[in-house]
């Protein structure tokens, strides 16, 4: 065992992790999928969505921000946590205005795919039905805030590439994703090739003119559950 | 043993979910062996005359008639199933939920680009009165099962119905849970 390696246990299986990693990163490397929405590989973790909640030594914690240390005992794939995560995902659906049959992200959307994976058949919480603003001013990119889950991936990606096109505005239920341009996205220096323009897990921030290009049945999550790529890396257990 | 009775309802939907039920191809012959259809637009039976085992609901609740009918379905059916995104979330008709009803009506009948000669708001007493929003069925009455999809595929409907009618668990496999 090298000096900066620690051992942690996820669902009864011992896993070797690198010091400085988060639980989620260590699990990814070991081929164990922990559901997540606001985490995107290569970006600083945000800790916003709580879909990645695990139990660390019996207490709930977000695995995308929790650093590993020797001997941590983690629960991940349990009925209790699946129910909790499904409830969090239901809240995201209830808060926004998601009409999957009319959404060009359908089939390629991480929020929808997460709901499928967690077995969500209906949103049992009452819908909020709050109008949200659409921004179609940019020639190549649009923002349909009805579908925003406030994960902050666009903002963190933009900051990482030195642009700060996106940021949060307001608090609590009035929180929204804002852009660095008085009259919308067209006044920002966002380019279609930016990582920020491709970091959104939902149908909110998308490139124009590519919707419905991939036929139903061949889209990313039509037959393959989200997280399969990580689980296929190295089967555990 | 008498065959289980099935009723179906068309609320605010496009009839696509009913079409999907008919799309089970030759299995429709097995289905009529398995169940008897009661009140349904498929056979044009318009009133409940006896207790029904399973009610299949298509569409959300957008007007007073939908509302009354859904209450009737709950009263007469042992099991109610919301079939499709319209019944489960309001679906595409629920796109109007973030716009005030007055604005929707005015845009459609008074100010829209296809309106000629000023237009008029529909006010015939036979037309159901619109509700303020389009509601999923389970925000109005208790719903026992949900079969998502737009429409749920014939395979989804077949798998769920046969499981339910033969007393098995309705757990849908990954490939059959879809919201589009
Ligand atoms: S963003 Fe995803 S969940 Fe929302 S409507 Fe589009 S496909 Fe559905
Ligand atoms: S626009 Fe997309 S990436 Fe940005 S916060 Fe909303 S959901 Fe997340
Ligand atoms: S769920 Fe889709 S197919 Fe079914 S009634 Fe609604 S729009 Fe039509
Ligand atoms: S992925 Fe950890 S909080 Fe969102």
Query: What are the pLDDT digits (tens) for A139-160?
Result: 999 999 999 999 999 999 999 9
B97-115 mean pLDDT: 94
| CATH level 2 (architecture), domain A86-207 | 2-Layer Sandwich (3.30)
User: What's the rounded Cα separation, in Å, for the pair A60 and A62?
Assistant: 7
Nearest CA-CA distance, residue A116 and chain B, Å: 6
* pLDDT grade for B170, boundaries at 50, 70 and 90: confident
Q: Does residue A43's CB lie within 6 angstroms of at least one atom of ligand 4? A: no
Q: Hey, is the C-beta of A101 within 8 angstroms of any chain B C-beta? A: yes
Domain ranges of chain A: 5-77, 86-207
B91-101 mean pLDDT: 97
Q: Give start and end residues of each alpha helix (H) in B35-153.
A: 64-76, 84-89, 101-106
Q: Cα of A211 to ligand 2 centre, how many Å?
A: 17
Q: Cα of A136 to ligand 4 centre, how many Å?
A: 28
* pLDDT grade for A227, boundaries at 50, 70 and 90: very high
* Confidence (pLDDT) at A237: 47
* Confidence (pLDDT) at B2: 83
Q: Hey, is the C-beta of B59 within 8 angstroms of any chain A C-beta? A: no
A16-26 mean pLDDT: 97
* Confidence (pLDDT) at B150: 98
* Confidence (pLDDT) at B86: 98
* Confidence (pLDDT) at B1: 66
* pLDDT grade for A124, boundaries at 50, 70 and 90: very high
Inter-residue contact B56 to B9 (CB < 8 Å) = yes
**How do residues B153-162 score in pLDDT, each as one tens digit?**
999 999 999 9
* Confidence (pLDDT) at A233: 80
User: What's the rounded Cα separation, in Å, for the pair A69 and A23?
Assistant: 9
Q: Hey, is the C-beta of A115 within 8 angstroms of any chain B C-beta? A: yes
Contacts of A101 in chain B (CB under 8 A): 85, 91-92, 150, 179-180
Is A24 buried (19+), middle (13-18) or exposed (0-12) by CB count in 10 A? buried
* Confidence (pLDDT) at A3: 60
Contacts of B147 in chain A (CB under 8 A): 121
The H or E element spanning position B156 is helix B154-165
Nearest CA-CA distance, residue B17 and chain A, Å: 13
The whole-chain average pLDDT of chain A stands at: 96
What is the model's pTM? 0.96
* pLDDT grade for B25, boundaries at 50, 70 and 90: confident
At the topology level, CATH places domain A5-77 in Ubiquitin-like (UB roll) (3.10.20)
- Asked if the model's pLDDT at residue A60 lies above 50, the reply is yes
Q: Which residues, including other chains, have CB under 8 Å from residue A159's CB and lie 6 or more apart? A: none
| All structural domains of chain B | 5-95+130-177 (3.40.50.700)
Predicted interface score ipTM higher than 0.85: yes
- Asked if the model's pLDDT at residue B11 lies above 50, the reply is yes
């Amino acid at each position: 065992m090298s000096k900066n390696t620690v051992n942690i246990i996820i669902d009864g299986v011992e896993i070797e992790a690198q010091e400085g990693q988060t639980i989620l990163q260590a699990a990814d490397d070991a081929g164990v999928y922990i559901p997540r929405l606001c985490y995107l590989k290569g970006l600083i973790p945000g800790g916003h969505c709580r879909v990645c909640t695990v139990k660390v030594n019996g207490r709930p914690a977000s695995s995308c921000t929790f650093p590993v240390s020797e001997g941590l005992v983690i629960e991940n794939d349990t009925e209790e946590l699946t129910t909790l995560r499904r409830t969090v995902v239901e809240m995201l659906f209830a808060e926004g205005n998601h009409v999957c049959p009319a959404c060009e992200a359908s089939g390629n959307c991480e929020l929808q795919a997460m709901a499928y994976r967690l077995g969500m058949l209906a949103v049992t919480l009452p819908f909020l039905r709050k109008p949200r603003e659409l921004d179609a001013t940019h020639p190549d990119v649009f923002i349909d805030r009805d579908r925003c889950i406030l994960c902050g991936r666009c903002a963190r990606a933009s900051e990482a590439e030195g642009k700060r096109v996106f940021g949060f505005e307001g608090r609590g239920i009035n929180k929204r994703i804002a852009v660095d341009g008085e009259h919308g996205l067209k006044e920002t220096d966002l380019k279609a090739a930016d990582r920020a323009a491709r970091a959104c897990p939902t149908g909110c921030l998308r490139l124009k003119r590519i919707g419905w290009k991939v036929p139903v049945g061949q889209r990313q999550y039509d037959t393959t559950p989200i997280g399969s790529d990580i689980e296929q890396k190295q089967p555990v257990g | 043993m008498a065959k289980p009775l099935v009723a179906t309802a068309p609320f605010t939907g496009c009839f696509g979910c009913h079409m999907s039920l008919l799309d089970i191809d030759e299995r429709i012959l097995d289905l009529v062996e398995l169940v008897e259809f009661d009140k349904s637009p498929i056979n044009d039976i318009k009133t409940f005359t006896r207790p029904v085992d399973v009610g299949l609901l298509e569409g959300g609740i957008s007007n007073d008639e939908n509302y009354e009918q859904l209450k009737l379905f709950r009263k007469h059916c042992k099991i109610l199933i919301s079939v499709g995104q319209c019944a489960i979330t309001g679906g595409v008709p629920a796109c109007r939920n973030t716009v005030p009803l007055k604005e929707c009506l005015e845009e459609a009948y008074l100010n829209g680009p296809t309106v000629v000669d000023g237009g008029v708001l529909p006010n015939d007493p036979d037309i159901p009165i619109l509700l303020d929003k389009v509601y999923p069925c389970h925000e109005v009455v208790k719903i026992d099962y949900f079969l998502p999809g737009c429409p749920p595929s014939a395979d989804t409907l077949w798998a769920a119905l046969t499981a339910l009618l033969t007393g098995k668990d309705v757990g849908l496999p990954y490939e059959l849970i879809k919201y589009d």
